[in-house]
Amino acid sequence: MPGPWARYANWLHLRWPAGHVEPRPRVRADGGTAVPGLYLAGDHLSRPLLGDALDSGARTAARIAADPTLRAGSAAPGLLDLVIVGGGVSGFAAALEARRAGLAYELVEADEPFSTPANYPAHRAILPPASADRPAGSLQVTAATREALVAELRAQAVRAGVVARIARAERVERAGDHLLVVLAAGPPLPARRVIVAIGRSGCFRRLDIPGEDLDHVFDRLHDPEAHAGGRALVVGGGERAAEAAIALAEAGAEVTLVHRGGVLTRPRFRTLALLSERLAGAPTRPWRRRVNRADIPRRAPGPGTVALRFATRLIEVRPGAAVLQQADGTIETVPADAVFVMIGRQRPGDFLLRSGVPLRDRPGRWQRVGLALLVLPAAALCDWRSGGPLGAWWRARDWFPYAVPSWLASAGGALARSAADPRTLVGTLAVSAAAPAFWCALAATLLVAVCGALRVRRRPVPYVIAQTLTLAGVQALFLFLLPEVILPWLGHNGRLPRGLLDAFFPMSTHGHGREYWRAYGLVLAWPLQAANVLTPAPLWAWLAIAMTQTAVLVPLAVHRFGTGAYCSWVCPRGALAETVGDTRRGMMPHGWRWNRLDLAGQVLLGAALALLALRIAGWIRPGPDGADALFARLWGPWRWITDVLLAGALGYGLLFRASGRVWCRFLCPLGAFQHVLARGSRFRILAEKPRCIQCGTCTAVCHLGVDVMGFARHGRAVEDPECVRCGACVHDCPTGALAFGRLAPRGGPVTLDALPTSPVRMRAGG
């Protein structure tokens, strides 16, 4: 990317956290999967909370034990009743239940028992259970801190006589009428039933070196500030290792990054650039691309810096020290108060896929083909609506809806008489209903109403209720009743002043005889309703409205309430995305590469501005050879490309493949304009770091691709301008760590939104 554009892209879209979302499996409410006999428990089945994990583990094992068909079929030697993969809280809860029920079982853990709680930040306060109900089973948690929690869990496991076998499971396979749990080392375990309780973090790779189990060795970084002023050693050459090194250095630790290779190839460019700002010691060349050497500061080693050690391995960890071995065999002991082994992990999604469990939000090959085919009908529908080539062909045949007036006339009687008189309501409807736009508006209104009601049932909190009612009301009144029924009916009955009609709805040769469709522009601000602005001669009334909307109202609303004030409370696209697309949120792709595509909207915004300039030039100097003619040549293709191809085929067509916000996130020029405005907005999603358990739920439900967790885990307010304040992340956060609010102008106290969105906070009275 050229310099200024790269800086602009970074300022607007590329500087934000861009984590990926862990795919979720398709699982039934009882934990059953598409693989007969294979059940899921813990974080893959329930809310990512200790209490829920305990509950689901114990219940799943109890259900299996109570199944009368459990021991039906062959009884091969060594065949177990149950193998539990994952020795976390849900795995142990299942094991305790299996033992109590007298099942022949085995519990397999890749790392250490209860490794997730054991890796919480030191002295972390444990959040109280989200519900008052006691989890099923005998394993329970009551502790208030990490240390006490791990101690009480281990003590209960010991008392119950449940021991985990330390081994990594690779996959689960079917073998005749039973299942095989394939281990990384050793013979597979045959079992009648398998519970997979591997959590969401997956299983982190280990170095298998002496001292790796010491208390100051971690496989994830939760709290960089906890290591401020200390010496930290990070092992790894990937993005996670580089990011951890930067975060630790930024928090004030003196960091050594150890990598067995000779060059850092995997971190992204921006991460390498940040790393370069922290580099200590002699200049090295860690980059896979050229970086101006003069830009690399060479600081003296100390707090806040990162020293790079290439071609080096960590071979032992001791209390307060780490032993390194260089490629030439030289051994060196360096001080290390904390050691982070970040050499990758086996993602839970990969394990599940290998075991034949399909993932949600990831369609299979045939589904992909089927979904791709949806793009074509969406394009056809939009072309039909906007009178493109297909629409013109259809119209020439006088099929539905153009034939509606003649159908009504042939009905005879009072109905035919009313339909023939546009001053009656039936007559007005008959004229409107002869155009595809009427039916599309009616369908959108009904869809928003029905799917909106379902959304409210799923998320019955004041914010979602108010938002859904507003969206449905705006859709029904301004985007259906007013342009299609009320205004034409008033016009036909002479109830609207002539001056107002001439100013807003010029005469036309078809339909109602006036262009009442322009009333869609009361809600659709420029550049969305460009047809009201880019007219052959200026329509001053609409120009005034469009400019007031885009230059005054939208900026004011964005400044105070963020991008979502328009996109999630007014816009008809937003209405469909938030209601029809409510259950498809998880399909929006995340990550840095996709964030680069966010810039497509900026390109479209530039094109819309260029077209506006051309239109104005055409008004000033009309004529067949000037800007007027050029504009006329461009206007048709522009409308077809934006309305049919981008907004229609991609925007609607991909709703079931990539969520309802494809158009809004990547392409909408009004959205792109608001992203720029939002950089000056005081609206934020505020995050309480102590409550964030890094479960990724917030990021997963963001259908604008915002990595909410990337902000929340550091307690940072979410300032990615893509956020349309739909409320899904705040609502779904299992610990109530998120809230909508506004920053004070000069760093004063933040103001939280008055409308509650988080059920957890509502229960807690906050």
Ligand X SMILES: Cc1cc2nc3c(=O)[nH]c(=O)nc-3n(C[C@H](O)[C@H](O)[C@H](O)COP(=O)(O)OP(=O)(O)OC[C@H]3O[C@@H](n4cnc5c(N)ncnc54)[C@H](O)[C@@H]3O)c2cc1C
Burial (0-12, 13-18, 19+ Cβ within 10 Å), 413: exposed
Instruction: Considering the complex, state which of residue 80 and residue 588 has its C-beta at the smaller distance from ligand X.
Output: 80
Q: What is the distance between the alpha carbons of residues 22 and 42, in angstroms, rounded to a whole number?
A: 15
Q: Judged by CB, which is closer to ligand X: 124, or 665?
A: 124
Q: Where are the alpha helices (DSSP H) in 306-435?
A: 348-354, 365-386, 389-396, 404-411, 413-420, 425-432
Specify the amino acid at residue 678: A
DSSP state at residue 587: G
Nearest approach in angstroms of CB 647 to ligand X is 40
With respect to ligand X, which residue has the nearer C-beta, 194 or 668?
Answer: 194
Q: Spell out a b/e string for 682-701, using b for 16 or more CB atoms within 10 Å of the CB, else e.
A: bbbbbbeeebbbbbbbbbbb
Q: Which is nearer to ligand X, 216 or 259 (CB)?
A: 216
For residue 82, give the amino acid letter.
L
| Spatial contact of 138 and 112, defined as CB atoms under 8 Å apart | no
Which of 302, 246, 253, 255 shows the shortest CA–CA distance to 276?
246
| Shortest distance (Å) from residue 54 CB to ligand X | 8
Kindly tell me which of 221 and 323 has the beta carbon lying closer to ligand X.
221
Chain center to CA of 389:
36
CB of 765 to ligand X, least distance (A): 19
Cα 101 to chain centroid distance, Å, stands at 41
In the complex, minimum distance from the CB of residue 219 to ligand X, in angstroms, rounded to a whole number: 9
Alpha helix ranges (H) inside 459-553: 462-476, 487-492, 498-504, 540-547
CB 105 within 8 A of CB 181: no
Residue 180 CB, nearest approach to ligand X (Å): 14
Closest distance of CB 122 from ligand X, Å: 11
> Which helix (H) or strand (E) is 249 found in, with range?
helix 239-250
Say how far apart CA 742 and CA 288 lie, in whole Å: 41
**Beta carbons within 10 angstroms of residue 112's beta carbon:** 16
Distance of CA 599 to the CA centre of its chain: 17
Task: Supply the Cα-derived Rg of the chain in whole angstroms.
Answer: 31
Burial of 275 from C-beta contacts in 10 A (0-12 / 13-18 / 19+): buried
Angle at 306 between CA 305 and CA 309, to 5 degrees: 150
Which residues in this chain contact ligand X in the complex, by CB under 6 A? 42-43, 48-51, 53, 85-91, 108-111, 115-117, 120, 126-127, 168-169, 197-199, 201-203, 222, 346, 351, 693-694
| In the complex, minimum distance from the CB of residue 217 to ligand X, in angstroms, rounded to a whole number | 15
Q: 190 vs 653, which CB is nearer to ligand X?
A: 190
Would you tell me how many other CB atoms lie within 10 Å of the CB of residue 39?
A: 26
The single-letter DSSP state of residue 647 is: I
Question: Please, which residue, 181 or 726, has the CB nearer to ligand X?
Answer: 181
Residue nearest to ligand X (CB): 88
Nearer to ligand X by Cβ, of 196 and 464: the residue is 196
- Quick check: 316 and 210 in contact, CB under 8 A? yes
**Min CB(244)–ligand X separation in Å:** 15
For residue 124, the minimal CB distance to ligand X (Å) is 6
The closest alpha carbon to 198, from 111, 53, 87, 96, belongs to 87
User: 527 preceded by cis ω (within 30°)?
Assistant: yes
Q: How far is the CB of 351 from ligand X (least distance, A)?
A: 5
What's the farthest any 2 CA atoms get from each other in the chain?
102
> Least separation, in Å, of the C-beta of 236 and ligand X?
18
Residue 145, helix vs strand vs coil: strand
Instruction: State the nearest-atom distance from the C-beta of 92 to ligand X, in Å.
Output: 8
Q: Residue 304 has which token pair?
A: 């806040």
Q: How far is the CB of 689 from ligand X (least distance, A)?
A: 11
Count other C-beta atoms under 10 Å from residue 266's C-beta: 17
Tell me how far apart the alpha carbons of residues 142 and 648 are, in angstroms, rounded to a whole number: 53
- Output 40 or 496, the one with its CB closest to ligand X: 40
End-to-end CA distance of the chain: 46
Q: How many residues does the chain have?
A: 766
Element housing 617 (H / E): helix 600-620
Our CB check for ligand X shows the closer of 277 and 688 to be 688
Task: Dihedral sign for Cα 265, 270, 273, 274, please.
Answer: negative
Residue 245's φ and ψ, nearest 5 degrees, are -60, -45
The set of residues, in sequence order, having a beta carbon less than 8 Å from that of 714 and lying 6+ positions away, is: 224, 247, 689
Decide whether 129 or 387 has the Cβ nearer to ligand X: 129
Q: Dump the DSSP string for 160-221.
A: HT---EE--EEEEEEETTEEEEEESSSPPEEEEEEEE--TTT-EE-----TTTTSTTEESS-
For the CB of residue 752, give the shortest distance to ligand X in the complex, in Å.
22
Instruction: Please identify, using beta-carbon distances, which residue of 236 and 348 lies nearer to ligand X.
Output: 348
Closest separation in Å from C-beta 147 to ligand X: 13
Please say which residue, 172 or 647, places its beta carbon nearer to ligand X: 172
Q: CB of 50: closest distance to ligand X in angstroms?
A: 4
Of the candidates 739, 701, 691, the one whose C-alpha atom is nearest the C-alpha of residue 717 is: 739
Shortest Å, Cβ 178 to ligand X: 19
Element housing 82 (H / E): strand 80-85
Name which of 760, 763, 762 is nearest 697 in CA terms: 760
The DSSP code for 359 is: B
Which one, 598 or 707, has the nearer CB to ligand X? 707
State in angstroms the smallest separation of the CB of 102 from ligand X.
23
